[in-house]
Structure 1
Amino acid sequence: MIEMFVAGIALDVRNGHPIVLLNDESKRRALPIWIGPAEARAITQALENHRPERPMTHDLLLNSITALGYLVDRIEINELSSNTYFATIFLKINDPSKRLDTTKPIDSRPSDAIALALRAKASIFVSAQVVSEGTIATDQEKDEQEAKDFKKFIDELKASDFKNSRGQAD
């Protein structure tokens, strides 16, 4: 799993649909996920730390989770199938004296999981497979340079650069 962070909300220039953009820590990969307008509003409110007078849906969900003695441990965006992303919210009992694995997975749409994670200050993880299939490069120049550097390294590699099992060069 790769930890990612919400970079923001954008609009698809082709159709005006909202997109939540996730970035990896290096900001070299972006994962765009198309979402609905209500979820975009919920994510934007969480990013701006906006607290409505009355709880909105994701606030209500977090309040319910907390009232039941749980906390949002993390979310995972773990599958991409037929252009649809799948996520899991992991709840954990909010009691340090419990030594058992008390994590409960809950199936979710990524947009709802992200809105909840932001409110709960929980980590957002994305599976390596989803990152591989769904991300776009945001620093193409750096990626190309690293590929050239790696190819040069491989081309210049000699057998004498390796040590045998006795720690001696062959």
Structure 2
Amino acid sequence: MTVRGVRVHVPLGEVVLLLTADGLDLVLPVTIGPREGAAIASVLAGIAPPRPMTHDLTLDLLRAAGTGIDRVEIVGLRGGVFFAEIVLTDETRVDARTSDAVALALRAQVPVLCDGDVLERAGELDLGSEEDAGERPGESELAQFRAFLESVEPEDFDDADS
């Protein structure tokens, strides 16, 4: 899977992570919380925080303990909720929210895989694959994203449950 990006679904105000299936014309939309969306989008935009954020700290702790992340797998879909596992270098599997797993995968630069059944059930036809191919965010999009990051308040995350 390739992380295409994070979008805000304006009518509903939902943050959506878009994953594309490599070699297929499918996209997997995953609704996530705004904090996780910001964590993923900042990596994609190349924005490095001045101090380690939660996902950076988690990765640092794993490395300090002598292990790391080998890959992330999206393994299930139940009741509209995606389930993921972080697979460590010793093949230990750790249950995780998909948003956190993807945020860690991006930081560790490891693959994100998706179970075929999950992709079959939740994947949607990727109508934007040609126009989005190789597209990088422009200055306008980066400015909008930076403004979004600056406007986020701690209270915005009080009820985040994804």
Quote the residue 1:88 is aligned against: 85
Quote the residue 2:126 is aligned against: 138
Quote the residue 1:153 is aligned against: none
Structure 1 residue corresponding to 2:72, chosen from 75, 86, 105: 75
Quote the residue 2:37 is aligned against: 40
Structure 1 residue corresponding to 2:104, chosen from 104, 107, 116: 116
1:118 partner letter: L
Matches of 2:81 and 2:22 in 1, distance apart? Answer: 24
1:90 partner letter: V
Query: For 1:73, what is the secondary structure of its paired residue?
Result: strand
Matches of 2:47 and 2:11 in 1, distance apart? Answer: 29
Quote the residue 1:10 is aligned against: 7
Matches of 1:122 and 1:28 in 2, distance apart? Answer: 22
* Structure index of larger Rg: 1
2:92 matches 1:104: yes
Superposition RMSD in Å: 1.4
Matches of 1:72 and 1:125 in 2, distance apart? Answer: 13
2:47 matches 1:54: no
Number of corresponding residues: 128
Matches of 1:82 and 1:25 in 2, distance apart? Answer: 25
Matches of 2:52 and 2:59 in 1, distance apart? Answer: 10
Consecutive aligned runs of 4 or more in structure 1 exceeding 6 Å deviation:
none
With normalisation by structure 2, the TM-score equals 0.76
Matches of 2:35 and 2:95 in 1, distance apart? Answer: 19
Matches of 1:36 and 1:72 in 2, distance apart? Answer: 23
Percent identical residues:
38
User: Unaligned stretches of 5+ in structure 1?
Assistant: 93-101, 141-170
Matches of 2:71 and 2:108 in 1, distance apart? Answer: 9
Matches of 1:56 and 1:32 in 2, distance apart? Answer: 24
Matches of 1:77 and 1:110 in 2, distance apart? Answer: 7
Matches of 1:108 and 1:43 in 2, distance apart? Answer: 15
